Amino acid sequence: MNPSESETEYIARMEFEKKQKVEREKHKALAEEEKQKLKEFHFMRCPKCGMELIEIDYKGIKVDECSECEGLWLDAGEFESVSKLEKSGLDKLFSVFKK
Protein backbone atom coordinates (compact mmCIF):
# COMPACT_ATOMS: atom_id res chain seq x y z
CA MET A 1 0.00 0.00 0.00
CA ASN A 2 1.53 3.34 -0.99
CA PRO A 3 1.20 6.41 1.25
CA SER A 4 -1.32 8.16 -0.99
CA GLU A 5 -3.68 5.16 -0.78
CA SER A 6 -3.65 5.11 3.02
CA GLU A 7 -4.30 8.84 2.96
CA THR A 8 -7.32 8.28 0.73
CA GLU A 9 -8.64 5.71 3.19
CA TYR A 10 -7.98 8.02 6.10
CA ILE A 11 -9.93 10.83 4.43
CA ALA A 12 -12.77 8.42 3.57
CA ARG A 13 -12.87 7.18 7.13
CA MET A 14 -12.92 10.74 8.47
CA GLU A 15 -15.74 11.54 6.07
CA PHE A 16 -17.65 8.45 7.22
CA GLU A 17 -17.19 9.27 10.89
CA LYS A 18 -18.30 12.84 10.30
CA LYS A 19 -21.49 11.69 8.55
CA GLN A 20 -22.09 9.01 11.15
CA LYS A 21 -21.88 11.65 13.86
CA VAL A 22 -24.39 13.84 12.04
CA GLU A 23 -26.79 10.89 11.72
CA ARG A 24 -26.42 9.97 15.38
CA GLU A 25 -27.15 13.56 16.37
CA LYS A 26 -30.28 13.40 14.17
CA HIS A 27 -31.40 10.19 15.90
CA LYS A 28 -30.89 11.78 19.27
CA ALA A 29 -32.91 14.84 18.25
CA LEU A 30 -35.60 12.57 16.84
CA ALA A 31 -35.82 10.58 20.06
CA GLU A 32 -36.18 13.82 22.03
CA GLU A 33 -38.81 15.06 19.59
CA GLU A 34 -40.71 11.77 19.89
CA LYS A 35 -40.57 11.97 23.67
CA GLN A 36 -41.89 15.53 23.55
CA LYS A 37 -44.69 14.51 21.17
CA LEU A 38 -45.72 11.61 23.40
CA LYS A 39 -45.75 13.92 26.39
CA GLU A 40 -47.94 16.45 24.58
CA PHE A 41 -50.24 13.69 23.39
CA HIS A 42 -50.67 12.05 26.78
CA PHE A 43 -50.52 15.09 29.05
CA MET A 44 -53.55 15.23 31.35
CA ARG A 45 -55.02 12.15 29.71
CA CYS A 46 -56.23 9.08 31.57
CA PRO A 47 -53.64 6.27 31.37
CA LYS A 48 -56.46 3.74 31.08
CA CYS A 49 -58.99 5.19 28.67
CA GLY A 50 -57.19 8.21 27.19
CA MET A 51 -59.87 10.77 28.04
CA GLU A 52 -59.21 14.14 29.69
CA LEU A 53 -58.38 14.30 33.38
CA ILE A 54 -59.96 16.87 35.67
CA GLU A 55 -57.47 18.17 38.21
CA ILE A 56 -58.45 19.44 41.61
CA ASP A 57 -56.14 20.86 44.23
CA TYR A 58 -57.02 19.78 47.75
CA LYS A 59 -54.71 21.20 50.42
CA GLY A 60 -51.82 21.14 47.98
CA ILE A 61 -52.53 17.57 46.84
CA LYS A 62 -53.35 17.51 43.15
CA VAL A 63 -55.80 14.73 42.37
CA ASP A 64 -56.74 13.99 38.79
CA GLU A 65 -60.05 12.35 38.06
CA CYS A 66 -60.80 10.88 34.67
CA SER A 67 -63.81 12.51 33.02
CA GLU A 68 -64.74 9.16 31.48
CA CYS A 69 -63.91 6.14 33.68
CA GLU A 70 -63.74 8.14 36.96
CA GLY A 71 -60.34 6.69 37.88
CA LEU A 72 -58.36 8.81 40.34
CA TRP A 73 -54.69 9.52 39.69
CA LEU A 74 -52.00 10.98 41.89
CA ASP A 75 -48.67 12.54 40.97
CA ALA A 76 -45.40 11.28 42.43
CA GLY A 77 -45.28 11.70 46.21
CA GLU A 78 -48.94 12.57 46.52
CA PHE A 79 -50.02 9.15 47.72
CA GLU A 80 -47.79 9.77 50.73
CA SER A 81 -49.51 13.14 51.31
CA VAL A 82 -52.93 11.47 51.06
CA SER A 83 -51.87 8.77 53.53
CA LYS A 84 -50.99 11.51 56.04
CA LEU A 85 -54.49 13.03 55.97
CA GLU A 86 -56.78 12.55 58.96
CA LYS A 87 -59.84 10.38 58.35
CA SER A 88 -62.02 13.52 58.21
CA GLY A 89 -59.64 15.07 55.68
CA LEU A 90 -59.82 11.94 53.55
CA ASP A 91 -63.62 11.96 53.69
CA LYS A 92 -63.61 15.61 52.64
CA LEU A 93 -61.21 14.87 49.78
CA PHE A 94 -63.33 12.02 48.46
CA SER A 95 -66.56 13.98 48.90
CA VAL A 96 -65.22 16.30 46.15
CA PHE A 97 -65.56 13.41 43.70
CA LYS A 98 -68.85 11.98 44.96
CA LYS A 99 -71.77 12.15 42.60
Which residues bind to Zn ion, rule: CB under 5 A? 46, 48-49, 66, 68-69, 71
CB of 48 to Zn ion, least distance (A): 5
Task: Read off the amino acid at residue 84.
Answer: K
CB of 50 to Zn ion, least distance (A): 7
- Strands in 72-74's sheet, in edge-to-edge order, are 53-58, 61-66, 72-74
CB of 38 to Zn ion, least distance (A): 18
Is the CB of 45 or the CB of 89 nearer to Zn ion? 45
Is the CB of 46 or the CB of 61 nearer to Zn ion? 46
Closest CA to 66 of 48, 53, 50, 49: 53
Is the CB of 47 or the CB of 80 nearer to Zn ion? 47
Q: Is 19 exposed, middle or buried (0-12, 13-18, 19+ CB in 10 A)?
A: exposed
